[in-house]
Structure 1
Amino acid sequence: MAQSSHQVWEDFFKRYYWESILDLANHYPEKRSMFVEFSDIARYDMELANELLEHPDSALAHANETLVRIDLPADVEFTNTHVRIIKLPERVQIRELRSVHINKFIAVSGLIRKATEVRPKIINAAFRCQRCEHVTVVHQSEGKFIEPYECEDEMCGRKGPFKLVHEESEFVDAQKLRVQESPDDLRGGEQPQTLDVDVDDDLAGIVAPGDRVVVTGILRSYQRSTQQGKSTFFDLVLDGVSIEIEDKEFEDIEISKEEIEEILDLGKDPQVYSKVIHSIAPSIYGYDEVKEAMALQLFSGMPKSLPDGTRIRGDIHILLVGDPGVAKSQLLRYGVRLAPRGIYTSGKSSTSAGLTATAVKDEFGEGRWTLEAGALVLADMGLACVDELDKMESDDRSSMHEAMEQQTISIAKAGIMATLKSRCALLGAANPKFGRFDRYEPIAKQINMPPALMSRFDLIFILTDEPSVSRDTAIAEHILKAHYAGQLSIRRDNIINSGITLDEITSAMEVIQPVIQSGMLRKYIAYTKRNIFPIIQDDARKQLIDFYLGLRKQGEDPNSPVPVTARQLEALIRLAEASARVRLSNIITKEDTDRVIRIVMASLKQVMTDPETGRLDADIINVGMGKSQRDRIKVLKEIIRKLEGEYKSAVPLGDIISKAEESGIKKDTVEDMIQKLKTVGEVLEVTNERFKVV
């Protein structure tokens, strides 16, 4: 049995970590930490590993002292180095921390919710006696600042006064973090719990709000003090020993050699597109176009930083608008599971502060204002799914404009001026204004969203629920098969000798089984983001330009609407880059441009077609009103003005309608337009159903 001692640790270091110690000596003092994997300690001696877990203070003190004392071949002397233990086999959930864990060595994982500024903390304070000038050094432990009781000089021995000497005191960088348990581990309806972490020296300042981390450390407890005195309740604080940043973005996913070979084989497969599409939400029937768009969103285009400092986003934003019960939320949930940092939030329960960031008074003791990251910041380099977008308050919705186009969030609150990054793709879902689509009304009119926000989405899909025997039969069969597969597996798990074989379950599950498993698909996406940076070929570029110009030409006549804007062209380029990445291709070919033109045209036809002229009109989304509607409003105002001149007073509604019908405007449309003009204050209702232009 190896009791922790300097001799044991020295033997361990020399046997397992001699290379690391030499590397540390080469980079000291810039690098002051040596990372030791717990599995190596367990392999060396299980007793030592257990002692580290049960009595971490003494074991870590021995390890750190041994590292400082160790004989080095180079002329380097360690004075302030740390042994940082990483990769503990078991992690404790924050909500499962109990009194048995106090003073034990544990690892917790979660999201950094809040981080204070890095500030110096005094560890050895030097005091000068004001009477005899003798300097006394007092080691400062956690908590209260300790002053010497009396002067150490035997000739003096008085009880002060003392003055702190900054030059001779020893300081170390320190920071407080708040870690919140990861949303993925929560059961429904639970509120995520938090834990405060104290870190110092080279661990301070390495993480930012939104990072997913595993923090290893010693759990301490501090007594709460109230106005009535000390409380019997204690607060938990983790004394951080090491921080591992995990799952930061796609780039950090580890891929083995065998997996790379599998990925390359997949890329060569001519069926790769249908395989990827059928791996997204296989339990939902149909929606191939939407799933294809979601696949391209996950692969994403390339963000570009231009020489003049402009940044062009590579992320693709998609909006799904549809009737109730068409599985919009399910699609969003699946997207969150595939993305490396997926955050799901629902519009009704999200405020602008919860989406972007909020300034809060720091409860860490100093009462300073600090920033707390919201959903769009936490989803940086990932995917943010916002359900029920139409139910959000309009003020809260406006906070998303900057996050979607510039991919930053600017905060000016409580004296904090900050710009946070939110480089995430947005997948939104919304219901029509009256709950369900009216097939006789123009679609744009039924989407209750401001044009400024709508125009920032690269693709908008309308999902309507129209009964049709063949489609409904297929959906019903699909749903029942999925439920049947679920019933079989539950029965097998819960009833002994149920007689259900694994083969039966496997064959029943085939319907809802993704072609590429979600773990593999994540690695496939990660590989493309790391290694595939496609460049457009001349013929593909020409095709995109011709397509764009062909659409724009429709708007050359002064009386025609503007069919598309440059925003749609940028969307085409982003989608084409993502399409090439799916094939692991470094060049964008006509195959890619054909595909994205098909997807974009399907989206444009659904949303931007003027029902009266049948032409594409970008203003329906960008302005909220098509050109034909604007022209009719102009005509209507002119009619009211003329009649006002004849009547020398307000004009009755009946006369306006009969005049408008002569100009070819229907009665319903007139009433609708007058209501709109009244709302914006262009027309006044003087008395009952008598109007005048303002």
Structure 2
Amino acid sequence: MTDIKWEDKFKVFLKQYYWDDILQLANEYPEQRSLTVDFSKLEIFDRELAAELLEQPSEVMPSADKALQEIDLPIDKTLDKAKVRFEKVPSKIPIRDLRSKHLMKFIAIEGMIRKATEVRPKIINAAFMCMRCENITFVPQTEMKFVEPLECENDTCGKRGPFKILMEQSVFVDAQKLQIQESPENLRGGTQPQSLDVDVEEDLAGIVKPGDRIVINGVLRSHQRTTREGKSPFYDLVLDANSIENVDKEFDELQITPEEEDLIREMSQDPHIYDKIIQSIAPSIYGLEEVKEALALQLFSGVPKHLPDGSRIRGDIHMLFVGDPGVAKSQLLRYMVKLAPRGVFASGKSASSSGLTAAAVKDEMGDGRWTLEAGALVMADMGIAAVDEMDKMRSEDKSALHEAMEQQTVSIAKAGILATLKSRCALLGAANPKYGRFDRYEGIAQQINMPPALMSRFDMIFVLLDTPNEEKDTRIARHILKSHYAGELSEQRKKMPTSKVTQEQVDEQMEIVIPDIDPDLMRKYVAYSRRNIFPVMEEEARDHLVKFYMDLRKMGEGKDSPVPVTARQLEALVRLAEASARVRLSSIVNMDDARRTTKIVYSCMKQVGVDPSTGAFDVDIIASGTSKSQRDKIKVLKDIIRQVGGRHPAGKAPLEEIYAEAAVEGIDRAHAEEMISKMRRSGDLMKPDHDSVKLV
């Protein structure tokens, strides 16, 4: 089939299916220079032409472009540089399955952008002027290397140069190199994700950023490798991109149709909307309603605010789960990562500080300069970053989280790069207590291996205890076995051709693990709310939050009473109340939202911020790791040691005497031993011999 025939076919096809789009393109030309064509429509129009495009794209695509450029328009304009971009190509090929048979074919590759170089001009047609006779020669640049003319084209001259390149007469296009990597979900065990280099040009350059999940359609080409010995028989694969489709969108980019918008508005009027949303979060996990309610509020998030002095108050809600093993912490984290449009999951032991923030690496794609590679918190910008096993992280890695949580930026000063990257994500952490299980009678800070400065940045800390309770355990066990039974039926129906299980049976059993709101709709609901709803708090609700905060603060007024809450908790209350109003798509934060917020925070603090020995609220347990009553006891103990030491030579105080005196003051022996070891660790005490101590 000749090019001319293809061109005529494309003209008919474009006029028939895309006439309105072509007129719109003509209006916006030259700002917009490409027409996007759905491949399935081309297949309906002419199957043979579609097959030719997949098999011989290098010949068919130019005729499609030519057809678009030569279409007669009703307005006086020519589309002389317009391009046809084909998307929704059926044959998506995993990067690891690319073979030599795919060379020069039109294919689609799905994956995640790992790196992107900056957009730079690339010369495609170079104009050379002969320095002797001033004749101009054009040399198209299609190879990897820059090609100069061999000799002057002027018959009377014919010399071999010298030539000078004329920049203003040469033709340049914008070009960028990308590296696309397989999505982590599709990997087989034990394999490292493979990547492929992609060349993008013209209006495709500069539209994607690292972390985006996309499908790239294009022609697979190859470049010969060069080694020091010369040319190698091996070739490297490069995808010459024709079009880019976005797969994973931020909350802001999800497309919502008018019908869906009506449905979302209708759902928000439902008085049971909160319960429905709670039931739609990890339905396979039984109970934990309070935790799921908090997770729902985290999805909707508070309103980020920009103040006139240039500062920004974050709207994202950070949460931490601490608890016994086997209470489904990681399961909840995984579910939230799936639900959020940009969710990134990292695990403490394997995450380093540069893996969470950003790493400086040598750039192999460009010219070997240092570049930044975004880490988990930056990749999760505008989404949720879940970090499991936070207690297992090295302390220098934990310190990387401080700035990312409060200022929501990541500042880098490495290898001569000074940069600030945005990480506007909500952090969802999970940690296990130090000694495996949670001890009710010990402060939370002693049990979590995390610095107090980091702990106080979490808006909410949930302690998930695994306490045996016959009635509750029976319900949980039944729920788990029912979920397994539903899964067994569905797998058997799928995998065994002889199975007698009917679809009705599967649906009936799946009832308990089906979320009330479909995850896709839920995501759109959240997106719609975050995009359009910016609630304002009414007076009554403000007063309620202030009163709640003040009541807690009042507990800390006496000389000896602990300080129960800090201003950070007040900000957390505000964010949660805003998120609660967003759930109802309401632009007013009312009393109900304020009450719901204080209820969650109170139950959260009851678990966390109670001094086990006095039963009073004490925020110092979270903020500094030592409760007020403990500090007071340490002071008493120091006085005892000072007195006992004064009665003995060289200030050495025998331990037995100290314990006896401490018992009189109401400090039992176990506590006294623990405090003495604490004081020795912090350098207040020294042990000159086996059975006595001395104040330093």
TM-score (norm 2): 0.95
The one-letter code matched in structure 2 to 1:679 is R
Contact 1:619 1:625 in 2 (8 A): yes
Tell me which residue corresponds to 1:154.
Answer: 155
- Post-superposition offset of 1:79: 4.3
Partner residue of 1:586? Answer: 587
Task: Return the alpha-carbon distance in structure 2 between the equivalents of residues 584 and 83 of structure 1.
Answer: 41
In 2, the alpha carbon distance for the partners of 1:85 and 1:76 equals: 24
- Please give the alpha-carbon distance, in whole angstroms, between the structure 2 residues aligned to 1:638 and 1:8: 97
Deviations 1:71-92 (A, max 9, x none): 4454544443322223324432
Cα RMSD between the aligned structures?
2.2
What residue in structure 2 maps to residue 687 of structure 1? 689
Distance 2:228 2:602 in 1: 67
Match of 1:667 among 666, 669, 687: 669
Q: How does 1:510-529 map to 2 (within 5 A)?
A: 510-529=511-530
Range with bigger deviation, 656-665 or 116-125: 656-665
**SS state at 1:509 partner:** helix
Distance across 1 between alignment mates of 2:67 and 2:383: 43
Count of paired positions: 694
- Equivalences for residues 261-340 of structure 1 within 5 A: 261-340=262-341
Say whether residues 1:500 and 2:501 are aligned partners: yes
Alpha carbons 2:441, 2:613 under 8 Å: kept: no
Q: TM-score, normalised by structure 1?
A: 0.95
Aligned to 1:65: 66
SS at match of 2:315: coil
- Any idea what the Cα deviations from partners look like across 1:524-546, whole Å, max 9, x if unmatched? 22222233222222211111111
> Does the 8 Å contact 1:246/1:252 carry over to 2?
no
Once the two structures are TM-superposed, the CA of residue 119 in structure 1 deviates from its matched residue by 1.8
The 1:495/1:202 distance shift into structure 2, 3 A limit, reads closer
The match for 1:465 is 466
State the AA in 1 paired with 2:107.
I
Deviation readout 1:357-395 (Å, 9 max, x if unpaired): 111111114111121111111111111111111111111
Cα contact 1:2–1:8 (8 A) shared by 2: no
2:167 corresponds in structure 1 to 166
- The alpha carbon displacement at 1:643 in A equals 4.2
Any idea what the Cα deviations from partners look like across 1:260-293, whole Å, max 9, x if unmatched? 3332332222222222112211211111111111
CA separation of 1:76/1:490 partners in 2, compared to 1, >3 Å: closer, same or farther? closer
Aligned residue in 2 for 1:6: 7
CA distance change for structure 1 residues 377 and 682 in 2, over 3 Å: closer, same or farther? same
1:314 deviates by: 1.4
The residue aligned with 1:658 is: 660
Corresponding position of 1:382? 383
Instruction: Name the structure 2 match of 1:392.
Output: 393
Q: Distance in 2 between matches of 1:95 and 1:14?
A: 39
Q: How does 1:91-240 map to 2 (within 5 A)?
A: 91-240=92-241
In 2, Cα distance between the equivalents of 1:157 and 1:653?
104
**Contact 1:132 1:156 (C-alpha < 8 Å) held by counterparts:** yes
Separation (CA, whole Å) in 2 of partners of 1:265 and 1:137:
64
1:642-657 correspondence to structure 2 within 5 Å: 642-646=643-647, 647-657=649-659
Moved more, 241-250 or 612-621: 241-250
Q: In the alignment, residue 60 of structure 2 is paired with which amino acid? A: A
Structure 2 counterpart of 1:371, one-letter code = L
Query: Counterpart of 2:113 in structure 1: which amino acid?
Result: I
1:29-48 mapped onto 2 (5 Å cutoff):
29-48=30-49
The residue number in structure 2 matching 1:609 is: 610
Q: Unaligned stretches of 5+ in structure 2?
A: none
| Structure 1 residue 320: Cα displacement | 0.9
* C-alpha deviation, 1:203, in angstroms: 1.8
Deviations 1:180-211 (A, max 9, x none): 22233334544322111111222222222122
Asked whether the 8 Å contact 1:116–1:370 carries over to 2, the reply is no
Report the residue type matching 2:605 in the other structure.
L
Q: How many Å separate the matches in 2 of 1:68 and 1:25? A: 10
SS in 1 for 2:41: helix
Q: Is the 8 A contact 1:2 1:47 kept in 2?
A: no
In structure 1, distance between residues paired with 2:357 and 2:591: 39
Of 667-676 and 601-610, the range deviating more from structure 2: 667-676
Indicate the SS of the match to 2:501.
coil
Partners of 2:246 and 2:173 in 1: CA distance: 22
Residue by residue over 1:510-558, the C-alpha shift from the partner in whole angstroms, topping out at 9 and shown as x without a partner, is 2222222222222222222233222222211111111111111111223
Q: CA deviation at 1:688?
A: 3.2
Query: Whole-Å Cα distance in 2 between the matches of residues 186 and 263 of structure 1?
Result: 35
**In 2, Cα distance between the equivalents of 1:547 and 1:365?**
57
Structure 1 range deviating more: 672-681 or 479-488: 672-681
Q: Distance in 1 between matches of 2:491 and 2:693?
A: 68
- 1:637-667 deviation line (CA, Å, top 9, x unaligned): 3443444444334433333333333333332
- Is residue 345 of structure 2 the alignment partner of residue 344 of structure 1? yes
Identity %: 60
Aligned residue for 2:193, secondary structure, equals coil
- Taking the aligned partners of 1:688 and 1:231, their CA distance within structure 2 comes to 73
1:446 aligned residue: 447
Distance 1:427 1:497 in 2: 44
Q: Which amino acid in the other structure matches residue 434 of structure 1?
A: Y
How far apart are the structure 2 equivalents of 1:91 and 1:686? 74
Q: Tell me by how many angstroms 1:27 deviates.
A: 2.9
Secondary structure at 2:143 match in 1: coil
